[in-house]
Amino acid sequence: TWGCLCQAVLGPSSWQMQHWCPPPARTCACRPCSDAELLLAACTSDLVIIHGIIHGVAHDVELQESVITVVAARVLRQTPPLFRAGGSGDQGLTSIRTPLHCGVRPGPGTFLFMGWSRFGEAWLGCAPRFQEFRRAYEAARAAHLHPCEVALH
What's the predicted TM-score (pTM) here? 0.76
Closest by CA position to 152, among listed 134, 127, 128: 134
Domains of the chain, each with CATH number or no CATH: 4-142 (2.40.50.120)
The answer on pLDDT for 103 being more than 80 is yes
- What is the per-residue DSSP string for 129-151? BHHHHHHHHHHHHHTT--SS---
Kindly tell me if the per-residue pLDDT of 85 is higher than 80: no
- Closest residue by Cα to residue 75 from 96, 98, 50, 111: 50
The answer to whether the CB of 20 falls within 8 A of the CB of 128 is: no
Give pLDDT, residue 15: 37
Task: Write the pLDDT tens digit of every residue in 34-65.
Answer: 899 889 888 888 888 878 889 999 999 999 99
